Structure 1
Amino acid sequence: MDNALFSRRRAERFAQLLDEANGGRRHHVRSRVDDQLTPLVGLGRRLGANPPEPEVDPEFRTGLRAMLLATAARDGIGAPAPAEKANNNRGALLPAVTARRARARGAVLVGIAAGAIAVSGISAASENAVPGDALYGMKRSTERAQLALASSEISRGQLFLDFARTRLTEASALRGNRSGYGAVLDDMDADTQQGVRLLTAAAAQRSDAAALDSVDAFLIRQRRALDALADNGSRADRERTTQSLALLASVTERADALRAAIGCGQPVGSASDGLGPIPATCP
């Protein structure tokens, strides 16, 4: 294998090309290695659009989950590690470049950890975990790793909407648990707002409503599932579900208004709120 292919300069250029291919900011430069990297960018886009879905053997999933739960019960998950003795002299002399290298190594480790989680099947074992389960922290850590590896703001926005759907699935398993149900819907609404804000900002910045298609698809499925929850459960659960439905109604209005503003060429302006840019009304 040619080690030069993975030099820092080529890796940085590959990251730029991949970001541009996913709707990110264009870098008006041309490199001698672009012809070599173009096939890899195409492969990356195809993998991003249709990620492989490895089939996990049910017996392996069950056995791994039992092993992880036993380990969590024995050793604990998320327990603070013993404080190490600080070396004040060395810490005071740590240059900024060392800190940057540490952050870079941390980003690489996040990617390696995310890949290891997916390959080993731990994410498969934790995918059905709900708040209160020992593996729920692992599930949320996997989501944070996915966000860290997202190649563009549009990808991050779509991930947040995917997480909102996951929170809704968790909420359906917690009906009757008043505090747990409400807390999961709070997280769901936060993920919804984050995703919508990123996607509406991308649409306004590019004057292109294509980014809103993900929002529309999300609204259809999410509203249908929330309506089903609103028809069942305790009175407190139904009232809390109504709040989330109201948020979806606000998202619908914002997406429609932004799409109309882009369609008539109306500038969006700089004003924004929790759902992103506030479009002006078409004349």
Structure 2
Amino acid sequence: MDNALFSRRRAERFAQLLDEANGGRRHHVRSRSDEQLTPLVSLSRQLAAEPAEATADPEFRAGLRAMLLATAARDGIGTSAAARPAEKASAGRGPLLPAVTARRARARGAILVGIAAGAIAVSGISAASENAVPGDALYGMKRGTERAQLALTSSEINRGQLFLGFARTRLAEASALRGDRAGYSAVLDDMDSDTRQGVRLLTGAAAQRADAAPLDAVDSFVGRQRRALDALTEGASRADRERTSHSLVLLESVAERADTLRTAIGCGQPATTASDHLGPTPGTCP
């Protein structure tokens, strides 16, 4: 209970400091939290004065919008947000004082502003990390953004396509790491892992639906990825060429699996109950 009260007071004080920084009425009070909150107020003003030019990922925007709408539906906005605490209080302890209700409304508004400002900052950092490679400071943010995209995607087909997109990204990173034997091999390992996960999801969806349409994405991926891998072998060291050949063998297996599964679906034998690292094993046509 003490922690909840302390957190609420910090939020209310943060709202007051924001009001004062934006030209609002000074409250002529001091808090022990002021030294910690003052830098956050400065950051909020900087974010408001210099909005990020980067565009947030559509799926990230959709997830943020859903979260804010859920918060608004639960707690209300503006007048409705201020009225709900009063309604709860009237059932038990009596109506809250208007000043307390207003402070809580401002605190909730400050929290929502902070969430939005944080979303803008994160989207800008995510955009800046797009070209990062293993070893760069922003590479962790890049991989974290990919995990967030997967978390916001529920469709097996969309998740499979995301994994294949990540595999293409890993290949682009590998081109920047040629000559670094350990780094080059590690990023191709990640690429092959993303390839297997994406193919497994797409072949599984094709078998479950008895529909070869998800395999079109696999075929397109294999063609583009094979050409890019072939290009990596030109002028590469012997060690890099040997490691690249392993990924090319995986692509050959993926292409063969897609072809046999497409044939099986066409003759009414989409898959058996068995599966492996590339998804369900195709049945045998009579």
Question: Taking structure 1 as the reference length, what is the TM-score of the superposition?
Answer: 0.59
1:152 shift after superposition = 0.6
Q: 1:164 aligns with which of 140, 146, 167?
A: 167
| 2:213 equivalent to 1:210 | yes
| 2:141 equivalent to 1:138 | yes
One-letter identity of the residue aligned with 2:149: Q
1:151 shift after superposition = 2.5
Aligned partners of 1:204 and 1:268 also within 8 Å: yes
Aligned partners of 1:193 and 1:275 also within 8 Å: yes
Could you list the per-position Cα deviations for residues 181-212 of structure 1 after superposition, in whole angstroms to 9, with x for gaps in the alignment? Answer: 00000000000000000000000000000011
1:119 shift after superposition = 6.7
One-letter identity of the residue aligned with 2:203: T
Q: Aligned Cα RMSD in Å?
A: 2.1
* Mapped partners of 2:164, 2:181: distance in 1: 24
* Mapped partners of 1:281, 1:215: distance in 2: 21
Name 2:184's counterpart in structure 1. 181
Name 2:266's counterpart in structure 1. 263
Larger-gyration structure (1/2): 2
Unaligned stretches of 5+ in structure 2? 1-51, 56-114
Aligned partners of 2:126 and 2:141 also within 8 Å: yes
* Mapped partners of 2:54, 2:233: distance in 1: 34
1:265 shift after superposition = 0.6
Aligned partners of 1:203 and 1:212 also within 8 Å: yes
Unaligned stretches of 5+ in structure 1? 1-53, 58-111
Q: 1:216 to 1:118 in 2, by over 3 A?
A: farther
Name 2:155's counterpart in structure 1. 152
Q: 1:201 aligns with which of 201, 204, 210?
A: 204
One-letter identity of the residue aligned with 2:276: D
Name 2:282's counterpart in structure 1. 279
Aligned partners of 1:203 and 1:209 also within 8 Å: yes
One-letter identity of the residue aligned with 2:263: A
Could you list the per-position Cα deviations for residues 76-102 of structure 1 after superposition, in whole angstroms to 9, with x for gaps in the alignment? Answer: xxxxxxxxxxxxxxxxxxxxxxxxxxx
Q: What is the percentage of aligned positions where both structures have the same residue?
A: 79
Name 2:253's counterpart in structure 1. 250
Name 1:108's counterpart in structure 2. none
Q: 1:220 aligns with which of 218, 223, 226?
A: 223
* 1:74-93 pair list within 5 angstroms: none
One-letter identity of the residue aligned with 2:217: S
Aligned partners of 2:53 and 2:124 also within 8 Å: no
Q: 1:129 aligns with which of 128, 132, 136?
A: 132
Could you list the per-position Cα deviations for residues 227-283 of structure 1 after superposition, in whole angstroms to 9, with x for gaps in the alignment? Answer: 101222100000000000000000000000000000011141110000000102222
SS of the residue 1:269 aligns to: coil
Could you list the per-position Cα deviations for residues 130-177 of structure 1 after superposition, in whole angstroms to 9, with x for gaps in the alignment? Answer: 000010000000000000000211111000000000000000000000
Number of residue pairs aligned between Structure 1 and Structure 2? 175
Aligned partners of 1:201 and 1:276 also within 8 Å: yes
Name 2:59's counterpart in structure 1. none
* Mapped partners of 1:280, 1:142: distance in 2: 38
* Mapped partners of 1:117, 1:271: distance in 2: 46
Aligned partners of 1:202 and 1:211 also within 8 Å: yes
Q: 1:267 to 1:158 in 2, by over 3 A?
A: closer
1:121 shift after superposition = 1.4
One-letter identity of the residue aligned with 2:227: R
SS of the residue 1:209 aligns to: coil
One-letter identity of the residue aligned with 1:166: T
* Mapped partners of 2:226, 2:273: distance in 1: 29
1:56 shift after superposition = 4.1
Q: 1:182 to 1:55 in 2, by over 3 A?
A: same
